[in-house]
Amino acid sequence: MIDSQRIAALADAPVPPQKHLIGGREQAARDAAELEVLSPRNGTLLTTVADGCAADVDDAVRAARQSFESGAWANRAPAERKKILMRIAELIDEHAYELAVLGVRDNGTEISMALKAEPGSAAATFRYYGEAVDKIGGEVAPTGPANIGLVLRQPVGVVGCIVPWNFPMMIGAWKIAPALAVGNSVVVKPSETASLSLLRLAQLALEAGLPDGVLNVVTGKGAVVGEALGLHDDVDIIAFTGSGFVGRKLLGYSAHSNLKHVYLELGGKSPNIVFADAPDMDKAASAAVNGIFRNSGQVCVAGSRLLVERSIHRDFVARVRQRTEQLRVGDPLDAATDVGAINSEEQLAKNLQFVRIASEGGAECVSGGERILQESGGYYMSPAIFDNVASDMQIAREEVFGPVLSVMPFDDEDEAIRIANATDYGLAAGVWTANLSRAHRMLQRVRSGVVHVNCYGGTDITVPLGGMKQSGNGYDKSLHALDKYTALKTGWIAL
Ligand code: NAD
């Protein structure tokens, strides 16, 4: 049960100007520059954050390197690191409402989703990797009697994390927690339109006993702070979540600096495929609606392409449309809101441009697609459904990252696979069928990092999230994520 009184008490609390967190202390940008933070709820000035520059990134990387070399964290007994990660999780839980409301005022996600997905997931993530700390180790290779081959697993050193605005704490924690668990020091660059909750989370980590300099946060513009981090010669790896456009830049920065490893969690154009033998059409329709419209479609795994077998197409679209038109779009801090605000005016304009081009290109808009609630000063849009979208249309190919659904009918399983895979992306998919053999065939043939069967979007920290094709490389979540943050070293000992 959501506590609306607690939300109301926090909704308009003043937020002081925010600075970087470097070496355990707050630090203004070297050139004293600040960025205004506008709330997507109502377009008003929420606060300012430090508008970082390359010199600030240098300071943060130096602090991270010094803390790493000092061994204050990396050389601590795993059981002690575990205690601190578990304490961070506790503090996140204790401050869940404060963190969630601050995050929503900054990024616009509806509070019902933010409470679960942001502090809820972040705490679970710190707990999961905290519990893993003293249960993972190296190996002794089966080399024969003349030698011993040791495979040591060591922290990589300084990890740069660059995260987007849709779920800053959850995605931040997916990178920060496993990186810290194995002893690295970290520099985080949050999105310029969603920095506040991650800054607060980092302060809580200090309060939990994380040594100074082990977790640093530098705020500011991607093209300045993100670029400086990507180009820095003393950063050992970059763990990034965001667009393919920036992902490509990061690969370039690596090539032009120290060849650091770059791990990319990128976008998607995920197909949600409904066969005529789906076991429960109502459940499938509700999941299709939630799968694209929660958090205004600003979800990497959003089911933005709805593939429907032709024999049920008309009926199924009617069900989806009816549910969509019942969604309450509005103030993200209202617990009854289903769909909150678009993150920024710029993103709203981008979404509306997609809608305009689709309509002009002949796609059939059967619902929504307009700016609404403009009198609030906030950035709101009615969820849009386009029917009979052709595979070559822009809304079938490009990630909108907004509340726009493209419906595409198909005739048989082979055609469903062909349409599903006709994309540069490969992040997520859904399949609805009561036919077990077909479910397994689809699982094998759809090229994406996750395939949901008779559900859409369920997940857990225990399973990896990663993309195929241009949806990225590497994995967040699960024990597999630890591979990014550790280097294997061989010890070869002659006996
Ligand atoms: P974005 O790529 O614009 O920005 C992501 C981060 O990169 C931000 O912190 C930004 O400041 C920074 N950045 C921007 N320019 C940079 C540069 N030149 N160098 C270094 N850093 C730079 O993405 P966004 O709009 O914040 O987020 C939306 C995207 O993120 C969508 O494509 C979405 O699918 C993707 N995403 C993917 C996942 C996943 O797990 N695969 C999860 C969430 C979001």
pLDDT single digits (tens) 187-216: 999 999 999 999 999 999 999 999 999 999
Ligand 1: which of 300, 345, 469 to mutate, most ligand atoms within 8 Å of CB? 300
Residues 6+ apart with CB under 8 A from 271: 303, 305, 306, 307, 419, 420, 423, 429, 430, 446
Mean pLDDT value across residues 3-31? 98
Q: Which atom of ligand 1 is nearest to the CA of 167?
A: 43
Question: How many angstroms separate the alpha carbon of residue 243 from the centre of ligand 1?
Answer: 4
Residue 225's SS3 state is helix
Q: Which residues are catalytic?
A: 265, 300
**Could you state, in order of their start, the residue ranges of all structural domains in the chain?**
4-266+472-492, 271-460
Structure tokens belonging to residue 41: 């709820």
CATH H-level superfamily of 271-460? Aldehyde Dehydrogenase; Chain A, domain 2 (3.40.309.10)
Question: How many angstroms separate the alpha carbon of residue 463 from the centre of ligand 1?
Answer: 22
User: Cβ of 312: how many Cβ atoms within 10 Å?
Assistant: 18
Query: pLDDT tens for residues 99-133?
Result: 999 999 999 999 999 999 999 999 999 999 999 99
Instruction: Please name the residue whose Cα sits nearest to atom 30 of ligand 1.
Output: 242
Secondary structure (DSSP) of 250-267: HHHHHHTTT--EEEEE--
For the cut 90, the answer to whether the pLDDT of residue 134 exceeds it is yes
Q: Which of 163, 157, 220, 213 is nearest to 188 (CA)?
A: 163
For the cut 90, the answer to whether the pLDDT of residue 398 exceeds it is yes
Q: How does the average pLDDT of the chain come out, rounded? A: 98
Whether 4-266+472-492 shares its CATH topology with 271-460 is answered no
For the cut 90, the answer to whether the pLDDT of residue 464 exceeds it is yes
Q: What angle do CA 486, 470, 341 make, to 5 degrees?
A: 95
Residues 6+ apart with CB under 8 A from 235: 61, 158, 159, 160, 187, 229, 258, 260
What is the pTM for the complete model shown?
0.98
Ligand 1: which of 49, 161, 191 to mutate, most ligand atoms within 8 Å of CB? 191
Quick one: fold of 4-266+472-492? Aldehyde Dehydrogenase; Chain A, domain 1 (3.40.605)
Binning pLDDT at 50, 70 and 90, where does residue 493 land? very high
Ligand 1 site residues, Cβ closer than 6 angstroms: 162-166, 171, 189, 191-192, 222-223, 226-227, 230, 241-243, 246, 249-250, 265-268, 300, 399, 401, 427, 465, 467, 472
User: Cβ of 73: how many Cβ atoms within 10 Å?
Assistant: 23
Question: How many angstroms separate the alpha carbon of residue 265 from the centre of ligand 1?
Answer: 9
Ligand 1: which of 188, 246, 401 to mutate, most ligand atoms within 8 Å of CB? 246
For the cut 90, the answer to whether the pLDDT of residue 458 exceeds it is no
**Predicted pLDDT of residue 54:** 98
- Widest pairwise Cα distance in the chain: 78
Question: How many angstroms separate the alpha carbon of residue 175 from the centre of ligand 1?
Answer: 14
Which residues on adjacent β-strands are paired with residue 490? 151
Q: For residue 445, which amino acid is it? A: R
Q: Which of 160, 151, 154, 140 is nearest to 58 (CA)?
A: 160
For the cut 90, the answer to whether the pLDDT of residue 251 exceeds it is yes
**Could you give the C-alpha distances from 109 to 260, 290, 427, in angstroms and in order?**
33, 14, 21
**Predicted pLDDT of residue 272:** 98
Residue 452's SS3 state is strand
Binning pLDDT at 50, 70 and 90, where does residue 276 land? very high
Q: How far apart are CA 128 and CA 180, in angstroms?
A: 12
The residue ranges of DSSP E strands in 195-353, in sequence order, are 215-217, 237-241, 261-265, 271-274, 305-309
**Predicted pLDDT of residue 6:** 98
CA 104 vs. chain centroid, Å, equals 15
